[in-house]
Chain A
Amino acid sequence: MRLLEYQAKELFKEFGIRIPPSLASKDIEQGRKDAKELGFPFVIKIQVPVGGRGKAGGIQKCHNEDEFELKYPQVLGLTIKGEKARAILLEKMAEIKKELYLSLFLNRGKRCYTIIASADGGVEIESDKSQIIREVGLGKVEEDVARDVAKEMKLEGKSADDLVEILQKLSKLTIEKETELVEINPLVILDDDSLMALDGKVITDDNSNFRHEELQKYQEKSEIEERAEKSGFSLVELDGNIAVVGNGAGLVMSTLDMLSDNGGKPACFLDVGGGATPESVYEALTLISKMDKVKGILVNLYGGIVKTTIVASAFVKAYEKNLIDLPVFTRLKGVESDKAKEMLKDTKTKMFDTVEQAINAAVLGIKK
């Protein structure tokens, strides 16, 4: 789960990591109350689960009521990389001496948590050459390690002490909340040499959600995604018009790639999952039928754990109940595929021997 900035900062606060005074709102009425409580001037920050907010105009300084009335709706109305504003954060500005970078992330290759720190914080951490990197096993950061990082960042006095404290608090947050990434970018040195987190990014391990009832309030899912999760399949909505259905994440991704290569535009990624039943696949088709943008369905199945007949029987039922009236292009292979083909023979499903043929027919058959 990727938390929004204001949610990440709520966690920072809970763990004692200093943040500027700020208030989050979802509409201008609440925003006006927040503005009054906070007092001008402040920054208006869009809350979206993607980066690049500043460049897209999603972070605006605001000095008075007139500016507020103009800029709040402007920022709230922005769409950044396809993501609409989930909330608006009003935040007091800080007097900054220097920007730093600090994160603790799950290093997949090394199979351990890793600290990344940099004395030159700011915008593009990936391009930054002067990174300080420390592997810390399951995420515990001992004081001497933190002290070492501060030293390498050339921090002294109050700033160094603050960094040691913040790094250990990040470590506690990482372990207790089971995060994949906690990032402060920028972490800033204020005039009095103390440190403060100006931004926050937290990504938690979705598979540990069952242990974190307290994080559920941050879960932002569309109705469709929620229903998909409940039925045990994965669905990612995309911008195109051809719904792509298959079994196994790899196979469905591969089908998306081939469809895109041939000029088709996927409307969604739908992996029926290893535990698919006729009911769950029927539910998947119900969700697809609710997406107006979908003009056709491309099905690519390699029967293994999920027998192709399970999927076929859901399609047969969907036709019987008039749930779908879209052209369907199907490639079936693997366990019980002959039987599945027989079941679908008299339906509107067009059957193909190879996925290439199914894709070509789908691209040709579904115009825009």
Chain B
Amino acid sequence: MTYIFDLLRGKPEDSDYKKKPVIVQGMTGKFGSEHTKSMIEYGTNIAAGVVPGKGGQKFEGVPIFETVKEAVDATGTKISIMFVPAKFFLGAAKEALEAGIKLLVAIPEHVPVRDTMELLELAKKNDAIIIGPNTPGVIIPELIKIGIMPAIPFKAGNIVVLSKSGTLLYEISDALSEGGFGQAITLGIGGDPINGTRLIDAFDMVKDIPDLVGMVIVGEIGGDAEEVLAQQIIDSNFKKPVVAYIAGRSAPKEKRMGHAGAIVYGNYGSAESKVLMFNKANIPVAKRPIEVPILLAGKLQQSND
């Protein structure tokens, strides 16, 4: 497992320590341009853009290239964030991995699952990490933001937040920040049925952070990512406080609730099944987002006693 902090932050001996270059595929589109500005404003080192047909131009002073290969050659980047329509996703994502990208943050929604699965086979071969699709991205607060999240909810600290949902990630991180729990990293895995980085993969990426104080899992109905993670937490004997939240308890069965992945078939994907497994792993599940910092404080208290 690639240590995600090596990619996002680097090591003190790196010449680009704490300013790792990032490229943006689809930099000049409506979302691409808006979020490029917002990431630059946050301090992310946006080194290049890739827009076929616009190579040689600049956006916000950042050079644009025709292909990912050219952008990688010019900047030495290993990270790309994609704003490409779902129909063109697979082609653009493959291009990125073939050009040597090792961390691909895939923002687009509505990507067919077959395309995601095909991409994951290539990612496995190339030892690359895909976050998403349909993800808000990843942020190390006050250091680097690769995603579409607003800056306000996030404060630097020692809590990890992993979430399927974007807005709930903001909401809960906000509540945590207000409650004095800053974040070491927060990562959206995305609301699709197939995730490049599953909850369990994200857990493996962050569980050994040296100063980690606790972890928050923001799940929702659909699939069994939460159950698998709970089992992993039991099996790996992970001792730091973990608190969860599950959205969609009141959703009807067999209806897709906004996210392609948010659908319950029988008991598969139900909130009850997830809560049951979290309880088994001794992980309290908040009924409301606002309860998350309270439960986390409780768990911390317990582990200090």
A contact set with B: CB distance below 8 Å:
2, 49-50, 106, 108-109, 111-112, 126, 138, 175, 178, 180-181, 205-208, 210-211, 234, 236, 238, 246-254, 256-261, 266, 269, 271, 274-275, 302-305, 333-335, 354, 356
Q: A248-B165, A253-B248, A304-B167 are in contact. Are A106 and B259 (CB under 8 A)?
A: no
| Residues from chain A with Cβ under 8 Å of B221 in the complex | 253
Question: How far is B149's CA from A109's CA once the two chains are assembled, in angstroms?
Answer: 26
| Residues from chain A with Cβ under 8 Å of B111 in the complex | 207
Q: List 17 A-B contacts (CB under 8 A).
A: A109-B223, A109-B227, A109-B228, A205-B113, A206-B260, A207-B86, A234-B257, A238-B252, A246-B167, A248-B168, A248-B258, A253-B165, A257-B247, A257-B249, A266-B250, A269-B258, A335-B152
0/1 interface trace, chain B 142-169, chain A, CB 8 Å (1 if under) = 0000001110110000000001111111
Complex interface residues of chain B between 121 and 179 (CB less than 8 A to chain A): 121, 136, 148-150, 152-153, 163-171, 174
| Residues from chain A with Cβ under 8 Å of B258 in the complex | 234, 236, 248-249, 252-253, 269, 271
| Residues from chain B with Cβ under 8 Å of A106 in the complex | 113, 193-194
Partner of B31 from A138, A205, A305 at Cβ < 8 Å = A305
What residue of chain A has the Cβ atom nearest to residue B87's Cβ? A210
Distance (whole angstroms) from the CB of B125 to the closest CB of chain A: 14
Q: A108-B225, A250-B220 are in contact. Are A334 and B248 (CB under 8 A)?
A: no
Question: How far is B253's CA from A126's CA once the two chains are assembled, in angstroms?
Answer: 15
| Residues from chain A with Cβ under 8 Å of B149 in the complex | 304
Distance (whole angstroms) from the CB of A314 to the closest CB of chain B: 18
| Residues from chain B with Cβ under 8 Å of A257 in the complex | 247-250, 287
| Residues from chain A with Cβ under 8 Å of B120 in the complex | 111
Q: A106-B193, A108-B223, A249-B258 are in contact. Are A208 and B112 (CB under 8 A)?
A: yes
Q: A205-B112, A305-B31 are in contact. Are A248 and B150 (CB under 8 A)?
A: no
Distance (whole angstroms) from the CB of A43 to the closest CB of chain B: 24
Q: Does B251 contact A (CB under 8 A)?
A: yes
Top 4 nearest A-B pairs (CB, nearest first) are: A250-B165, A249-B258, A248-B167, A251-B167
Q: Does B290 contact A (CB under 8 A)?
A: yes
Known contacts A207-B86, A208-B114; can you find 11 more A-B pairs with CB under 8 A? A50-B254, A207-B110, A249-B257, A249-B259, A250-B164, A251-B165, A251-B171, A261-B250, A304-B136, A304-B149, A304-B170
Q: Interface range on chain B: under 10, 10 to 19, 20 to 34, or 35 or more? A: 35 or more
| Residues from chain A with Cβ under 8 Å of B288 in the complex | 254, 258, 356
Q: Does B20 contact A (CB under 8 A)?
A: no
What residue of chain B has the Cβ atom nearest to residue A303's Cβ? B150
Q: Which of B245, B255, B257 has the most CB atoms of chain A within a 10 A radius of its CB?
A: B257
Question: How far is B114's CA from A305's CA once the two chains are assembled, in angstroms?
Answer: 27
Question: How far is B220's CA from A266's CA once the two chains are assembled, in angstroms?
Answer: 18
Question: How far is B288's CA from A259's CA once the two chains are assembled, in angstroms?
Answer: 11
Query: Do residues B112 and A334 form an inter-chain contact, with CB atoms below 8 A?
Result: no
| Residues from chain B with Cβ under 8 Å of A247 in the complex | 167
Question: How far is B121's CA from A300's CA once the two chains are assembled, in angstroms?
Answer: 39
Q: Does B64 contact A (CB under 8 A)?
A: no
Question: How far is B79's CA from A152's CA once the two chains are assembled, in angstroms?
Answer: 47
| Residues from chain A with Cβ under 8 Å of B267 in the complex | 126
Query: Do residues B118 and A250 form an inter-chain contact, with CB atoms below 8 A?
Result: no
| Residues from chain B with Cβ under 8 Å of A108 in the complex | 193-194, 222-225, 261
Distance (whole angstroms) from the CB of B212 to the closest CB of chain A: 24
Q: Does B289 contact A (CB under 8 A)?
A: yes
Distance (whole angstroms) from the CB of B31 to the closest CB of chain A: 7
| Residues from chain B with Cβ under 8 Å of A206 in the complex | 256, 260
Q: Does B26 contact A (CB under 8 A)?
A: no
Question: How far is B114's CA from A247's CA once the two chains are assembled, in angstroms?
Answer: 27
Partner of A250 from B35, B166, B266, B268 at Cβ < 8 Å = B166
| Residues from chain A with Cβ under 8 Å of B257 in the complex | 234, 236, 249, 252-253, 269
Query: Do residues A354 and B198 form an inter-chain contact, with CB atoms below 8 A?
Result: no
Partner of B290 from A238, A253, A302, A356 at Cβ < 8 Å = A356
What residue of chain B has the Cβ atom nearest to residue A250's Cβ? B165
Complex interface residues of chain B between 197 and 222 (CB less than 8 A to chain A): 198, 218, 220-222
Partner of A274 from B109, B174, B245 at Cβ < 8 Å = B109
Question: How far is B258's CA from A260's CA once the two chains are assembled, in angstroms?
Answer: 18
Q: Which of B168, B191, B287 has the most CB atoms of chain A within a 10 A radius of its CB?
A: B168
Distance (whole angstroms) from the CB of A124 to the closest CB of chain B: 9
Distance (whole angstroms) from the CB of A6 to the closest CB of chain B: 18
| Residues from chain A with Cβ under 8 Å of B247 in the complex | 250-251, 253-254, 257
Question: How far is B218's CA from A253's CA once the two chains are assembled, in angstroms?
Answer: 12
| Residues from chain B with Cβ under 8 Å of A274 in the complex | 31, 109, 148, 166
What residue of chain A has the Cβ atom nearest to residue B258's Cβ? A249
Q: Does B74 contact A (CB under 8 A)?
A: no
Query: Do residues B168 and A250 form an inter-chain contact, with CB atoms below 8 A?
Result: yes
Question: How far is B152's CA from A303's CA once the two chains are assembled, in angstroms?
Answer: 10
Partner of B150 from A126, A210, A269, A304 at Cβ < 8 Å = A304
| Residues from chain A with Cβ under 8 Å of B223 in the complex | 108-109
| Residues from chain A with Cβ under 8 Å of B243 in the complex | none
What residue of chain B has the Cβ atom nearest to residue A261's Cβ? B287
What residue of chain B has the Cβ atom nearest to residue A247's Cβ? B167
Query: Do residues B114 and A250 form an inter-chain contact, with CB atoms below 8 A?
Result: no
Distance (whole angstroms) from the CB of A244 to the closest CB of chain B: 10
| Residues from chain B with Cβ under 8 Å of A175 in the complex | 114
Question: How far is B153's CA from A303's CA once the two chains are assembled, in angstroms?
Answer: 11
| Residues from chain A with Cβ under 8 Å of B242 in the complex | none
Distance (whole angstroms) from the CB of B285 to the closest CB of chain A: 12
Query: Do residues A250 and B218 form an inter-chain contact, with CB atoms below 8 A?
Result: yes
Query: Do residues B256 and A354 form an inter-chain contact, with CB atoms below 8 A?
Result: no
Query: Do residues A178 and B167 form an inter-chain contact, with CB atoms below 8 A?
Result: no
Q: Does B4 contact A (CB under 8 A)?
A: no
Query: Do residues A180 and B167 form an inter-chain contact, with CB atoms below 8 A?
Result: no
Distance (whole angstroms) from the CB of B244 to the closest CB of chain A: 13
Query: Do residues B113 and A250 form an inter-chain contact, with CB atoms below 8 A?
Result: no
Question: How far is B221's CA from A256's CA once the two chains are assembled, in angstroms?
Answer: 13
